[in-house]
Structure 1
Amino acid sequence: MTEPTKTKNLDDRYGFAALPWSRARDLLATQTPKENLSFFVGTVRPDGRPHSAPVGAIWVDGALYFKSGPGTRRARNLAANPACVVSVRLNGLDLTLEGEAQRVTDSATLERVAAVYREGGWPATVDGDSLTAPYSAPSAGAPPWSLYRLVLDRAIGVATAEPHGATRWDFSR
């Protein structure tokens, strides 16, 4: 489980306390993959321009995972530069997660993540060192899909429900 090493209250001037990381973590754990959430992954193109695309992401055992076909712009960008940002509007908290995407190829993790995707209604199975299914979102590209785990550097949360506040959490690797 990833825990922050530093917390910064971004909203103390309005009298709000820093948000606990457990709020973001618990919302990710309970809302993925069951809620209809829209995640977006931002990557950097080789020429330095940004790229953002929707992605099917889930929180499993304390980490965020997402998939991408190897021919997508997202996957090609990550192969050249693994730095990325993932954003999502959870129920009561807007959240950005910054870090590096690491490709996952070990069968135990692939099986575990595929099982959680299936719990959410997407019939993922493991195919070698990738995931496959009868269908996926067009932005995922053609199967099989590579699985990535986001190694967190920083997260920023802005509460949209009580208790309000805004907080930055820094993580060390």
Structure 2
Amino acid sequence: MGAEGQRHRPLSGRDLRRAGALSLHALWAQAKLCGESPEKPGIPHNQLTEAELHTRDTKDPDALLQAAWSIEAARVLAWIVGFVDLEPTRLDLADPQELYDVLGFDNDDVPEGKPRSLQEMYEAWERTFSLRRYGVDMRVWCSQDAPIPDTARELTEQDESILLERHYAFAWFMDPLVPSYDRVDL
């Protein structure tokens, strides 16, 4: 049981391997979007989900762009296991190469990190969820030509994409019953 009686999985090498697979997948997609040949080593098929395996065979720019955004989910998981810093209130874009360099190990040895406390994880998850909800509310207000408070700020598409990927990673980590990363329920 986690904070406030909520269940969660204990940290494991699986969490770090998922972060590494997501970071490598994002770098691979980014290279293909730029018309380059991916230079990084391949990800073992057992580390990829069905959707990620399908993306490897596509030339669809939308699918590749979505795969490139997975770098934000990788950053959340790397933060949870204690390999990188993450300020949940800042919506800056992760550097895919930098994150790969931290996570890109080629064997099953899991480096040691200092996992975040349950309180830190739940606060970051709640902050991410709240900001996503705020973005949806702002879109609804704008679509209805409703007056927007002077202090409100509309989130950019980049902000919303970052929040979606972060939310996805938190939801996967916090739900002990999710069968695979592709089947996360937001």
TM-score, length-normalised on structure 2? 0.24
Q: Larger C-alpha radius of gyration, 1 or 2?
A: 2
The structure with more helix, counted as a fraction of residues: 2
TM-score, length-normalised on structure 1? 0.25
